[in-house]
Structure 1
Amino acid sequence: MENVATSPIKNSNRIKDLINSFGPGIMMATAAVGGSHLVSSTKAGAIYGWQLAVVILLVNLFKYPFFRAGIQYTMGTGKSLVEGYSLMGRGYLWVYTGLTIVASIVSTAALLMFSASLLSYFSPFEVSITVNAGIILAICLAILFAGQYRALDTISKVIMITLVIATVCAVIVAFGNGAVAPADYQSPTIWDIASIGFIVIMMGWMPGPIEVSSITSMWLKNQRTQKNVTEQEALFDFNVGYIGTALLAVVFLALGALVLNGSGQELAKSGIGFSHQLVSLYASTIGEWSRYLIAVIAFFCIFGSTITVIDGYARVLSEAQLLLQKKSLDQPKYHNNWMGVIGVAGMVVLLFFTAQLITMLNFAMILAFITTPIFAVLNYRLIVSANLKGRLALTPRMKALSWIGLVYLFGFLAVFIWWKWIM
């Protein structure tokens, strides 16, 4: 009788433990949603309707093993992926560090610019994008320097829950209203050569650059220093964040397809214009009453991406620096230094591209797309060499998916190189 009576309590505690274990996976989702979802997915639906829904799901599926590698490797070895790259050879670590420095600065600059343009939505008087970006950067650094992982963990969960609820509600209302496109409207075809550039840009940050797997690995490593995390909890957290992000990308595409596709509206290219257009997209669907509520949600979505990107890239770069210099890894000042460097460098880049939000985001996404196969190979080699056991082992099914993913990623890269520089 006692076992039967306590069983529901044990199950309840187990569910509570799983929810409390949410951290790195949800933070990864927060970092991913900003550029790839609000920008690329919405734009994909606006231009091509539903045609790219399958492509979005496929790229998320084929990148899955390489993102999952960050969880597998850290839980199985106690080391981060960055440490794994170092064990493979200093040359690999140098390549990783160089690519990550470029990605961190460009991504931070783009996200600062986007969040600053959204912040201007609330300004009663005109304030320059650079001033708003400086304010946002100062707030991000203050939060990270003061609370670091715990504050970031809490912020990520709140932002993701709010964003998911608002976006799903908007899509439900849009479905009820029906598509705005005329019955005889034909979207541009994705099979046109001219579409390759857009598809590549979208795939680059879908759900995010693969080097984000090393950031997730670092967040998990940090989480394990604060509490015990089981293999099941770590994989559950990752799967919820990753699968949820993939589905949310389709939801954003649906919003663009239902409200913008065939409407005759042209997507704005300026930072302020594009951010205001996104807010208007929600407001026209849910109702004008929601305009400022949606503006707040959109701002915090990009703000969440900005703060997680700054923290995450600083973590992996500080560890890479310490490994290259053969120093002890437990030195928080290096993490703080890199947060400052990334933030300042991002602001410097932003000063020269104030009016080029979409151009900068596109550059960041193309860079991510080009480097994706490289990081995918590195992650796959680490998982194979680690010889993991149990839940973390590389199953035949996951190995097959990894190989299909590599063929897919390198194949698309070859097509892009042909289209961009040879054709």
Structure 2
Amino acid sequence: MANTSSMDTSAKSGISQLIRSLGPGIMMAAAAVGGSHLVASTKAGAIYGWQLAALILLVNLFKYPFFRAGVQYTMGTGDSLIQGYASLGRGYLWIFTVLTVISGIINTAALLLFSASLLGYFFPFELSSIALCGLVLTTCIAILFAGHYRALDSLSKIIMAVLTVATISAVIIAAGKGAVAPAEFQAPSPWTLAAIGFIVVTMGWMPAPIEISCLTSMWLKSQRKKQTVTAQSALFDFNVGYVGTALLALVFIALGALVLHGNGAELAASGVGFSHQLVSMYASTIGEWSRYLIAVIAFFCIFGSTITVIDGYSRAIAESQRLLRRQEDEQPRVYQGWVIVTSLAAISIIAFFAKALMPMLNFAMIMAFMTTPVFALLNYILVTRANLPDELKLSQKMKALSIAGLIYLFGFLALFIWWKWLL
């Protein structure tokens, strides 16, 4: 009996440790869901029904080893992926830094505007987009400066849990009602040259831009300073977040396919308009009574993505700056400075170039797609060259998946370049 009790206690302790270690993987999921899932996956279901479901799963599968590299490299070496890039040469680090600054500002601007549009639901009077963005931004900065990782960690877990439950509930209810498309409706085919642009945008942000692997690496490095993290718990956290985002992508496709596909409604062209349409989609499925509840959930989802992106990109840029200057110690003020710079640059874009925001967002998505094979290759090189413990080394199956993924990503990039500039 004593041995059984001891085993039970040990098992419970192990499970508790795994749950406590959840953090960077869930934060990665929070960053991913805001753009790729709520927008890209839902639109894919609304326009093409279920036709792109297999492709989205395939993209998640082929990108898996390159996102996982952030956990493997950091747990095996104690360094971040960005430090790994620096070890390959300053040229690689400069390319990463420039692309990260651009992506961080554009992505923050887009998510800020989405958050502000949803926040406007809760005011009895009208506020300008700039004022609403200012409120969101001030709150984000206050949370990051006051609690840093711990506050962000807890917030991400709550947001992901609530959003998942609400979305799955909406899909179950919508499935019970049946499809809205009339029998004579014929869905457009995504397997045409005209649809390549949409597919590229969807793949670029599915489950997230590849540089998010560097942010996960930074969050993991920060987590290790505050608590004990094992290779097993770190990989468990990553798998929960990554597999969860892949499955959630299918749930959002289902929501778009069941509620909007073939119903004759025209999808809003702007991000703001689509965020309102998204809330109406939930409300029409679950019931009008749920409109404000869903608006709250959707707001906190986008807000979670916003705060996660501001934190992650600022950490990555600060780390790049430290390595480029060959400084030994991390300086919190540099991180805080980049939080301010990224935030002010993002709100300046909203203030002065609001009409060009969606084209800029499309540019960010296309850039994410075009840089994905490059960062995937860099991550593969780092993991294969590093002297990692056996439990973190690439297995033969994972190597085969990595090579297949590189062929797939570079092949699709070549197809896109041919379609965009050579056709």
Query: Normalized against structure 2, the TM-score is what?
Result: 0.98
Q: Post-superposition shift, 1:6?
A: 1.9
Partner of 2:219: 219
Name the CA distance, whole Å, in 2 between partners of 1:310 and 1:40: 21
- What does 1:244-263 align with in structure 2 at a 5 Å threshold? 244-263=244-263
The aligned amino acid for 2:333 is K
- What does 1:324-339 align with in structure 2 at a 5 Å threshold? 324-339=324-339
Name the CA distance, whole Å, in 1 between partners of 2:50 and 2:320: 41
Verify: 1:228 aligned to 2:228, yes or no: yes
SS at match of 1:148: helix
Partner of 1:277: 277
Partner of 2:126: 126
Name the CA distance, whole Å, in 1 between partners of 2:329 and 2:214: 15
Larger mean CA deviation between 176-185 and 158-167 belongs to 176-185
Partner of 2:69: 69
Verify: 1:164 aligned to 2:161, yes or no: no
In the alignment, structure 2 segments of 5+ residues that lack a partner are none
What are the superposed Cα offsets for residues 21-42 of structure 1, whole Å, 9 maximum, x if unpaired?
1000000000000000000000
Larger mean CA deviation between 151-160 and 408-417 belongs to 408-417
Change (3 A) 1:305 1:236: same
The aligned amino acid for 2:54 is V
Larger mean CA deviation between 357-366 and 39-48 belongs to 357-366
Verify: 1:180 aligned to 2:187, yes or no: no
Q: Post-superposition shift, 1:357?
A: 5.1
Name the CA distance, whole Å, in 2 between partners of 1:391 and 1:171: 38
Name the CA distance, whole Å, in 2 between partners of 1:175 and 1:310: 36
Partner of 2:57: 57
The aligned amino acid for 1:168 is I
Partner of 1:393: 393
Name the CA distance, whole Å, in 1 between partners of 2:121 and 2:371: 34
Identical positions, percent: 65
Contact 1:388-1:394 within 8 A present in 2 as well: no
SS at match of 1:27: helix
* RMSD between superposed Cα atoms in Å: 1.0
Partner of 1:207: 207
Name the CA distance, whole Å, in 2 between partners of 1:41 and 1:358: 17
Name the CA distance, whole Å, in 2 between partners of 1:362 and 1:352: 18
Name the CA distance, whole Å, in 2 between partners of 1:46 and 1:195: 14
Name the CA distance, whole Å, in 2 between partners of 1:422 and 1:174: 43
Change (3 A) 1:357 1:162: farther
What are the superposed Cα offsets for residues 108-131 of structure 1, whole Å, 9 maximum, x if unpaired?
111111111111122211111121
Size of the alignment, in residue pairs?
423
The aligned amino acid for 1:237 is D
Name the CA distance, whole Å, in 1 between partners of 2:28 and 2:73: 16
Name the CA distance, whole Å, in 2 between partners of 1:255 and 1:238: 25
Larger mean CA deviation between 137-146 and 389-398 belongs to 389-398
In the alignment, structure 1 segments of 5+ residues that lack a partner are none
The aligned amino acid for 2:194 is A
What are the superposed Cα offsets for residues 267-300 of structure 1, whole Å, 9 maximum, x if unpaired?
1123432111100000011111110000000000
Name the CA distance, whole Å, in 1 between partners of 2:64 and 2:33: 16
Partner of 1:110: 110
SS at match of 1:361: helix
Name the CA distance, whole Å, in 1 between partners of 2:43 and 2:159: 22
Q: Post-superposition shift, 1:313?
A: 0.5
Change (3 A) 1:221 1:337: same
Query: Normalized against structure 1, the TM-score is what?
Result: 0.98
Name the CA distance, whole Å, in 1 between partners of 2:329 and 2:64: 28
Partner of 1:414: 414
Name the CA distance, whole Å, in 2 between partners of 1:179 and 1:121: 29
Partner of 1:297: 297
Q: Post-superposition shift, 1:355?
A: 4.1
Q: Post-superposition shift, 1:207?
A: 0.4
